[in-house]
Every structure is written in structure tokens, then in C-alpha cells.
Amino acid sequence: MVLSLSSKALAAIVIWADMYEMPYGGDGIPDYYCLMGPGDTVYLDIYASNLTEIPDLRCFGFNMYFDPTQLALVPCASSVNFIDWPMASKDEHDDHIYMTGCRLTGGIIPDPSLLATIVLVCVGPGSNYLTFTKPEPPLTGFELFDGTVVDDIVFPTIWVFSGVDDCEGDFDDDGDVDGGDLAIFAFDFGRTDCIGGIPPCPCDVDHDCDVDDVDLMMCSYPICDFDGDGDFDGADMAVCFADFGRDDCCGDCPGDFDGDGDVDGSDLAIFAADFGRTDCPYGQAGESDKQH
């Protein structure tokens, strides 16, 4: 807790990022994950919240660090919101950027307030975090007009995954989508506590804080219409999870699509072609059944 010179308790300032792929495309909602492919560009609008109780905030300043083997700043693209923070500056480095802005007069400030926009491009595969820190003096941080330094800042930690382009199901980042990736998905499937987790849920592809049928579809994971309800969804996937890895299939493994006595990557390839279909004929065997 930080005290002003008048000994009034100040609320913590919360910093968060709204990420999007095209300029001016943000939705104003905090994001905690970013999935990128080689050459992809991401825009981060950096906001500060809880400012209604701190109307006399004069300056802000922060560092954002990233992995230079995975990400790079787009030259001259990042900028401070000079409309609200006209005394602005930035300092770009290979592995981080420092940004600061100051107001000329006090008074009401937007809450949340857009501080800056940072633009990054994916230069290599990897899995890492964007981390924010307070700058060390003499660099400017968060200060009030009366000179008080605000130390109670809550910074976000943003997980960034960049793998093979159009291969979001490669969770273990080994260049393929196979049984190892399915095991990772199976471990997370059903979780509803994915926001801000350490480690996060890599399978929460749609960033809605759970791992469910939607993520399954976005990852192009295969499933079959085992329950005969005319679609391929999480209920069918449960059957697949139960069989995956078995090597004693003698006609009693629905997941043994190629009939070779086990449930492995070759079976995944077979039912991958059917994933997402909703036109399955009721009561008729699918392609996987025909091979038994």
C-alpha cells in the first residue's frame, strides 16, 4: 500500500494488455495469452485501471521484456498515447522496451487509460512470457503531481506461444501433432481455471479460460461420433481418451480405427479427417468402424 503526502491510502494501479492482430482492432478486454506463427505481428494496447481514485497521476513508466529469439519489436511502430500523455518517450532494446508519458495538468483521467501501444513480430518458435517491471531511477515510473512515487502497481504476465504456422495443436513444440500433444490436451481437458495460471493452459486456444470442445475443434484434434448423435464433440473424445495408448485391442477398442491392435498416431490420422463434421448419418458406421 502506498501513502500520498496527505497519508491517504491509494488503490493499486492495474496494468493490462489488449492484444490483436490488425491495427485498431482491439476489443478492450484484457488478454493473457498470445498464439503466433512465424512472421505474425501482434499489437498490444497497454492500459492502466483503478485510476478514478488517483486523479493526480502525472506520469507513468514501465519496461516490457520479451525473448529476442522468439519476438522482435517492429521498428518505429510502438508509441505512447501522446493525446493523453503528451510528454512521451520510449527506448527500444533487443529484449525490452521502456515507455513513459506525462500529463501537463491534473484533473479527471480516463479509467481505464490507454498508456501505449507496442508492436511485436514473431521471429522464431518458442514459448515464453512478456513481463513488465517498474523502471529503476533515474528513469520515470508512476508519479503524482505532488512528487509521490506510486509503488503499488500490478503488472500482467502474458504467455506467448509461437510454433509452426497453422499448427496450434503442436503443444510440445516438436514439429508435429501426435500422441504427445493429445496427452497434453487430455491433461488440461475440462479445466476452467486457465486465466493467469502458472503454467497456463496451452490448450485454451480460444482464451475463454477453459479447455473444452471449442478448443478441441480449433486445434484440429480428431474425434469420432461414437455416441451416434450426429456430431463429433467432447462426449466422443472421452471414448478416445479412454482407449489412447492401448495395445491390447481385440475388437473392443472403438479408437483402434485401423484395426492393428493398438490405438496410436495412425488412428489419430484416420479420424482427423472427420473432425468437426455435423452431418454424420445416424445409426450408420463411420469410416473408422468400416476398417474393423
Residue 251 cell numbers, joined? 475388437
**273: pLDDT strictly greater than 90:** no
**77: pLDDT strictly greater than 90:** yes
Question: What's the domain count of the chain?
Answer: 1
Q: Residue 228: what pLDDT?
A: 61
Grid cell 481505464 in the structure block, residue: 112
Report pTM: 0.56
Evaluate whether residue 50 is within a structural domain: yes
How buried is 173 (Cβ within 10 angstroms: 0-12 exposed, 13-18 middle, 19+ buried)?
middle
Greater model confidence, 246 or 48: 48
Residue 101 cell numbers, joined? 508519458
- Ranges 12-26, 142-156, 242-256: which has the least confidence: 242-256
Average pLDDT across the chain, whole number:
73
Q: How confident is the model at residue 205 (pLDDT cuts 50, 70, 90)?
A: low
Greater model confidence, 67 or 241: 67
Question: Domain with 58 in it: what CATH number?
Answer: 2.60.40.680
Greater model confidence, 120 or 249: 120
- Summarize pLDDT for 124-164 with one digit per residue, the tens: 888 888 999 999 988 999 999 999 898 899 999 898 887 64
CA dihedral over 45, 46, 51, 54, signed as positive or negative: negative
- Summarize pLDDT for 83-128 with one digit per residue, the tens: 999 999 999 999 999 999 999 988 788 889 999 999 999 998 888 8
**252: pLDDT strictly greater than 80:** no
Greater model confidence, 226 or 140: 140
Does residue 168 contact residue 184 with C-beta atoms inside 8 Å? no
Which of 41-45, 215-219, 257-261: highest mean pLDDT? 41-45
Alpha helices of the chain — where are they, by DSSP H?
A: 179-188, 213-218, 234-243, 265-272, 287-290
Q: Residue 242: what pLDDT?
A: 57
- Strands (E) in the chain, as ranges, are 2-3, 9-10, 13-20, 33-36, 41-49, 57-65, 71-73, 79-80, 87-92, 96-102, 113-122, 126-133, 143-144, 153-154, 157-162
Could you tell me what percent of the chain has a pLDDT over 70? 51
**183: pLDDT strictly greater than 90:** no
Q: Residue 127: what pLDDT?
A: 82
Grid cell 492393428 in the structure block, residue: 260
CA dihedral over 163, 167, 168, 173, signed as positive or negative: negative
Q: How far apart are CA 241 and CA 179, in angstroms?
A: 11
Q: Residue 221: what pLDDT?
A: 34
Evaluate whether residue 109 is within a structural domain: yes
Evaluate whether residue 205 is within a structural domain: no
Alpha-carbon dihedral 81, 111, 156, 197, rounded to 10 degrees: -140
Evaluate whether residue 34 is within a structural domain: yes
Greater model confidence, 108 or 66: 66
Evaluate whether residue 55 is within a structural domain: yes
Could you tell me what percent of the chain has a pLDDT over 90? 30
Residues 6+ apart with CB under 8 A from 6: none
**203: pLDDT strictly greater than 90:** no
Evaluate whether residue 85 is within a structural domain: yes
Residue 216 cell numbers, joined? 478441441
Greater model confidence, 27 or 102: 102
Q: How confident is the model at residue 51 (pLDDT cuts 50, 70, 90)?
A: confident
In which domain, by residue range, is 144 found? 2-162
Q: Residue 174: what pLDDT?
A: 72
| End-to-end Cα distance, the chain | 67
Q: Residue 91: what pLDDT?
A: 95
Evaluate whether residue 280 is within a structural domain: no
Q: What are phi and psi of 186, to 5 degrees?
A: -60, -35
Nearest to 2 by CA among 141, 99, 106, 120: 141
